[in-house]
Chains A and B, each alone.
Chain A
Amino acid sequence: MRKVAVIGAGMTKFVRRALETPKELAWEAAKMALESCELTMKDIDAVCFGTAPDAFDGVHMNGEYVSDGAGAWRKPFMRAFVGGGTGVFSSIQGWYHVASGMFDVVLVVAEEKMSSFYPHAQAAFLTIFDNFTERPLKPNLLWIFALEMNRYMTTYGLKKEDIARVAVQHKRNAADHPCAMLGEPNITVEDVLNSEVLAWPVQRLDVSPISDGAVAIVMAAEHVAKRLTDKPVWIEGVGWNLDTAYWTNRDLVYPRYVEYAARMAYEMAGIKEPRKEIHIAEPYDPFDYKVLHHLEGLQLADRGKAIELYLDGTAARDGNLPVCPSGGLLGVGNPIAAAGLMKIAELFWQLRGEAGARQVPGNPRRGVAQAWGDLMQIGTVVVMGR
């Protein structure tokens, strides 16, 4: 397999309701990514595009419908479609397009416009449940997350006020992100604990917002990347893994599929001790407790102990293992597929030392990004280094 680098990235602001159509959002991010590495569409051999459920945009075959915004006109084109895991997976797809030797330069775009769905994007998820055992009860995703969070908290005896520190830290980090919609430099644990209870133990500020936005990156083979930039950021390892299709048969306390995806990526990257060898983590954070789940699955914390990274400052931007220095989905926003690719873009900027006010100190050399999705059952993991 050939070495593959990320050589450019672009990102729109994440907003509550964009005027731009999904195509236009994708185009804005794609254009920024191309300009960041001074390439044009003539240099792009193939396009990978990620967007989550068709229902958000209200168009069947939405990937193909939005494809012109991703620069797919008269190019080899493929859509990644693994729900919330899509953003990180689209970079894995871009990676194997290049690593295989098929293409030298690939544009990877992820876009989501959730605000079109009316009156609330949650309802789009009603149709992901089983027709016979679940849908007659009219379940929604909040139920599922509340049930899982309760089980996780109860198993390890975790406190709500501790878990709220995750939301606080991510929203504070996001205050330094120019694209963020929920950056709050002064938010406190009390604010989270006083927010509206949606489905106990999940409260309004435990959850990432419905958002619109797009992110794009340019990936290139080694010989091209070295010609185009002094600071390529290499894809060192990729992994993905799928758990049972049945929510009722999953371990609600420990995401084994994230562990398997992480082990696949670490092995490829030659990482034996992830807690020492990973300098920045961007785990998927649609809910605050979910970060803890994912850090444990990523082998960056012992089971039930991920919260300690927040309590002792390890996860802070200037801590030993900064977690979501971007501000994550909780702070920057959660346009689903775009939010995952944002994590790849964040590692790109951080590892190049271009993250501005968000920059993690100490010249970080290696980071891991992870997303979670499909029917809450896929783990997608990418290790990047310089």
Chain B
Amino acid sequence: MSLLQPDPQAPSVWRDNLPVTSRYTYGLAGERFFRILKDEGKIIGSICAACGATYVPARAFCERCMAELTEWTDVGLVGELHTFTVLFVDMEGRPLDEPELVGFVRFGDGGILHKLDADPDDLQIGMKMEAVLKPKAERIGAITDILGFRPVT
């Protein structure tokens, strides 16, 4: 039974919504991270030497010691596949026409959650994955400037 199947026994309802629209700023670190992704096609992290942590995507401060992070580093476009899933339903529980692949690719102590372009049978946790970027002219400074990750061939 689909989650969305109407239930004839259900109580009657009044429909309304909770409208909220926001304008989110990218922030001190985000502004720079996404600008570099857009202009230079690089993934940038920030380093806290005292805590031995590399934050990817880059952050403005270290969550462990609260120091300002001023040391930035290019972590490259290749990370490690930390885990992945194959999606069969959408957010509302409807079956997808084609299963979709989503993975978490580790960079430094963080990483990037994104779509994967691969055959699911070829995926193995721990393998190297490469970011596929949009052409520079089409990049707008968003995580979707990365189209996804594919196995390094």
Interface residues of A (CB under 8 A from B): 16-19, 55, 58-60, 118-120, 122-123, 126, 131-134, 136-140, 142-143, 146-148, 150-151, 154, 196-202, 210, 244-249, 252
What residue of chain B has the Cβ atom nearest to residue A154's Cβ?
A: B125
Interface residues of B (CB under 8 A from A): 3-4, 7, 10-11, 15-18, 24, 26, 30, 34, 55, 57, 63, 82-89, 91-93, 102-104, 109-115, 125, 142-144
Contact A245–B88 (Cβ < 8 Å): no
What residue of chain B has the Cβ atom nearest to residue A55's Cβ?
A: B18
B143 smallest CB distance to A (angstroms): 5
B18 partner residues in chain A, CB cutoff 8 A? 55, 58-60
A41 smallest CB distance to B (angstroms): 28
Contact B4–A133 (Cβ < 8 Å): no
Contact among B89, B109, B111, B115 for A198, CB-based, below 8 A: B89
B68 smallest CB distance to A (angstroms): 18
Pairs A-B, 8 closest by C-beta atoms = A146-B85, A151-B83, A19-B11, A200-B86, A131-B24, A120-B92, A248-B110, A147-B83
- Contact of A134 with B143 at beta-carbon distance under 8 Å, contacts A198-B89, A248-B113 already known: yes
Which of A16, A142, A244 has its CB near the most chain B CB atoms (within 10 A)?
Answer: A142
Contact among B7, B85, B113, B144 for A200, CB-based, below 8 A: B85
A228 smallest CB distance to B (angstroms): 37
Contact among B55, B84, B110 for A150, CB-based, below 8 A: B84
Contact A17–B143 (Cβ < 8 Å): no
Contact B26–A132 (Cβ < 8 Å): yes
Contact among B3, B4, B57, B85 for A199, CB-based, below 8 A: B85
- Contact of A148 with B83 at beta-carbon distance under 8 Å, contacts A58-B16, A59-B18, A120-B92 already known: yes
A244 to B61, CA, bound (A): 13
- Contact of A199 with B86 at beta-carbon distance under 8 Å, contacts A58-B17, A134-B113, A136-B144 already known: yes
B144 partner residues in chain A, CB cutoff 8 A? 136-137
Contact A132–B86 (Cβ < 8 Å): no
B91 partner residues in chain A, CB cutoff 8 A? 120, 122-123, 126, 138, 140
- Contact of A132 with B142 at beta-carbon distance under 8 Å, contacts A19-B11, A199-B89, A248-B112 already known: yes
B110 partner residues in chain A, CB cutoff 8 A? 246, 248-249
Contact B87–A136 (Cβ < 8 Å): no
A55 to B57, CA, bound (A): 28
B142 partner residues in chain A, CB cutoff 8 A? 132, 136
Contact A151–B63 (Cβ < 8 Å): no
Contact B87–A199 (Cβ < 8 Å): yes
A140 partner residues in chain B, CB cutoff 8 A? 91
What residue of chain A has the Cβ atom nearest to residue B92's Cβ?
A: A120
A236 to B87, CA, bound (A): 43
Contact B84–A198 (Cβ < 8 Å): no
Give me 27 A-to-B residue pairs in the complex whose CB atoms sit less than 8 angstroms apart, sorted by A's number.
A17-B11, A18-B11, A118-B15, A119-B4, A120-B4, A122-B92, A123-B91, A123-B92, A131-B24, A133-B112, A139-B102, A142-B89, A143-B85, A146-B85, A147-B83, A147-B85, A148-B83, A150-B85, A150-B125, A151-B82, A151-B125, A200-B88, A201-B85, A210-B3, A246-B110, A249-B55, A249-B110
What residue of chain A has the Cβ atom nearest to residue B7's Cβ?
A: A17
A133 partner residues in chain B, CB cutoff 8 A? 57, 112-113, 143
What residue of chain B has the Cβ atom nearest to residue A200's Cβ?
A: B86
B112 smallest CB distance to A (angstroms): 7
A146 partner residues in chain B, CB cutoff 8 A? 85, 87
B103 partner residues in chain A, CB cutoff 8 A? 147
B48 smallest CB distance to A (angstroms): 12
- Contact of A16 with B7 at beta-carbon distance under 8 Å, contacts A118-B15, A151-B82, A248-B113 already known: yes
- Contact of A196 with B113 at beta-carbon distance under 8 Å, contacts A59-B18, A119-B4, A131-B24 already known: no
A79 to B7, CA, bound (A): 33
A297 smallest CB distance to B (angstroms): 19
16 further A-B pairs in the complex, CB-CB below 8 A; given A142-B87, A202-B85: A17-B7, A18-B11, A19-B11, A123-B91, A131-B24, A132-B143, A133-B57, A136-B144, A146-B85, A146-B87, A147-B104, A150-B83, A196-B88, A197-B88, A199-B88, A245-B63
